[in-house]
Amino acid sequence: MMGLNATPKTGLVTERPAWKALEEHYQKIRNVHLRSLFADDAHRGERMAVEGADVYLDYSKNRITDATIRLLVNLAEECGLRQHIEAMFQGQKINTTENRAVLHIALRAPKSEQIPVNGVDAVSEVHGVLDRMAAFSDQVRDGHWLGYSGKRIRNVINIGIGGSDLGPVMAYEALKHYSKREMSFRFVSNVDGTDFEEATRDLNPEETLIIVSSKTFTTVETMTNAHTARAWLLKSLHRQEAVGKHFVAVSTNAEEVAKFGIDTANMFGFWDWVGGRYSMDSAIGLSTMIAIGPDNFRAMLAGFRSMDEHYRTSPLDKNLPVLMGLLSIWYNNFFGAQTVAVLPYAQYLKRFPAYLQQLAMESNGKHVTLAGAPVNYQTGPIYWGEPGTNGQHSFYQLIHQGTKLTPCDFIGFCRTLNPLGPHHDLLMANLFAQTEALAFGRTEDEVRAEGTPDWLVPHRVFEGNRPTNTILVERLTPESLGKLVALYEHNVFTQGAIWQIDSFDQWGVELGKVLAKRIIPELESVEEPLLQHDSSTNSLIRRYRRFKGEPSWK
């Protein structure tokens, strides 16, 4: 782990009285079993649950007592969490390493609100772009925006990567029920040509709109795919003017958009105070808006907004994102858990864990504090997951009986969008059963009482005491999706504020990009290049050159 050399009196969170109190408390509670916590309090399940913005969080199946919550809230108070939240909402430059405000909350603020950034009201700018997006989306959806040869647009391809892809694809999958089914929506992110090829092989370019989504408009993967898309279009339409009817851009970089050949009249902007992984509700959501329509998009924004308000105004011990963030810290820093599993019992949320990976891990995968001091504690856990019930038949075994502690977030909906015989009750029965099994397990006595032979008993014992949160929402709607995403955004923020890190930069992705640029000519050159990497990289490059064959595009 990083930062072992950090000296005392560095002002790190581990020196705070509340942290020390939690360390002591952990020693008392580490072996307490959820079985006894529930046995001692018949109402624990109701008491340790909160509702905010119509999202219900049952956190009773965590390895905590009321004292744990009190101590965690003390920690949040000592760390100035409230002030951090206010600083974000007021547009202060809390992304210090990039000297930027962090204002994704402005993307869902009502028109009546004002948040000045460098003398300009961010909220009115946001609504200006939203109105343009709505007008354009309506034109595409109702067939008034035609392709160059006069054909109606039937396919939309979003080209982007990271935050310019994961949010849009997650939201499209999540809200497919509300989407315009006569249209198809595809997402191309990977620089592997297979992604583009497979996304377009059955599409007619004359009926296809390409949205090039990139905050910077310089990301190599996205620009490579965008150029390939332009060539694909021109192969059918032969005229440069066709690009204007089939390409739009979403970016903060008008200059690069114009250089690429997209009319900036067909560009939808956003701002440097929207981080890529916090941008699915900005113009980056253009494909979402075309899919579900402007009214549904605005309903999603209203959902985000209601969770924002809950986060900003609710007491810390009744605040969903705060409680979830603090519980993550409890397991990550005191129990030594390395990961968090996110398990949506909703097939529509199949890309939600992937989306959360960028949100959480790009935000909180940091090794120094805001002041640049190495941390002497663990920061961001690894987020991962799959929808239930599928995961039950692959990795749940390890969560139940393995040697690693894996805190889990279970997410379920009370009403299904696809009522089909017994399916939904079965799905939800599994969700409830899993949290029950994880918490209470099955004791040796119980296993014996079932007549299990002695030799098999140890294999059939479930230790239990595996912590879970259960998040229940009435139904998956654009609004509830907004609430869920905002819940995790603020959960991640809470964690970052306690760890004193910059949750809004991502310097860690730079080095790989720089090195790849250096290697590209070494792979492409006809002459044998002089390789000056380490011996491993050199020999991998040589082997690749030997076997790769002639490039198809030369």
Calpha distance 446→4 (Å, rounded): 45
- The CB density around residue 121, as the number of other CB atoms within 10 Å, is 14
Pick the binder of ligand F6P from 163, 269, 353, 407 (CB under 6 A): 163
* Number of neighbours of residue 80 by Cβ within 10 angstroms: 14
Taking the least distance from each CB to ligand F6P, the nearer of 214 and 477 is: 214
Alpha-carbon distances of 258 from 51, 255, 310, 499, rounded to whole Å = 47, 5, 41, 41
Q: Minimum Å distance from CB 486 to ligand F6P?
A: 18
Q: Closer to ligand F6P by CB, 215 or 246: give it.
A: 215
Residue with token string 């979003």? 158
Nearer to ligand F6P, 163 or 482 (CB): 163
Beta strands in 347-497 (DSSP E): 382-384, 408-415, 468-475
Toward ligand F6P, which CB reaches closer, 456 or 520? 520
The reply to whether 509 sits near ligand F6P by the rule CB under 6 A is yes
Smallest gap from Cβ 163 to ligand F6P, in A, equals 3
Residue 147 lies near ligand F6P (rule: CB under 6 A): no
Distance CA 466, CA 97 (A): 38
- 333 binds ligand F6P per the rule CB under 6 A: no
Residues paired with 411 in a beta bridge = 344, 471
CA–CA gap between residue 185 and residue 225 (Å, rounded) = 16
**Residue 72 C-beta: closest distance to ligand F6P, Å:** 30
SS3 label, residue 71: helix
Which string of x and - marks every residue 357-396 that binds ligand F6P (by CB under 6 A)?
A: -----x----------------------------------
362 is catalytic: yes
Select the span of 29-37, 162-170, 286-294, 406-414 touching ligand F6P (CB under 6 A).
162-170
Question: Can you tell me the distance from the alpha carbon of 439 to that of 528, in angstroms, rounded to the nearest whole number?
Answer: 60
User: Closest by alpha carbon to 515, among 537, 548, 544?
Assistant: 537
Catalytic residue among 393, 459, 548, 554: 393
User: Which tokens sit at 271?
Assistant: 């701002």
Interaction of residue 95 with ligand F6P, rule CB under 6 A:
no
Q: Which of 87, 1, 95 is nearest to 507 (CA)?
A: 95
Q: Which residue is nearest to ligand F6P (CB)?
A: 276
- The label of the residue with tokens 């900005």 reads 282
Q: Choose the catalytic residue: 362, 479, 489, 522.
A: 362
Closest CB to ligand F6P among residues 333, 379: 379
Please state, in angstroms and rounded to a whole number, the distance separating the CA atoms of residues 430 and 424: 10
516 in contact with ligand F6P (CB under 6 A): no
Residue 104 or residue 245: which is nearer to ligand F6P going by CB?
A: 104
Q: Does position 167 bind ligand F6P by CB under 6 A?
A: no
Known active-site residue 393? yes
**String marking each residue 216-255 x if it binds ligand F6P according to CB under 6 A:** x--x--x---------------------------------
- Retrieve residue 404's tokens: 């690693």
Whether the Cβ atoms of residue 376 and residue 444 lie closer than 8 Å to each other: no
Asked if residue 468 has a cis previous peptide bond (ω within 30° of 0), the answer is no
Binding of ligand F6P by 506 (CB under 6 A): yes
287 forms part of the interface with ligand F6P (CB under 6 A)? no
Identify the residue among 147, 162, 294, 321 touching ligand F6P (CB under 6 A).
Answer: 162
Task: Tell the residue number behind the tokens 């909402």, with chain if given.
Answer: 89
Q: Which residues are catalytic?
A: 362, 393, 513
Q: Which residues bind ligand F6P (CB under 6 A)?
A: 161-164, 214-216, 219, 222, 276-277, 362, 506, 509
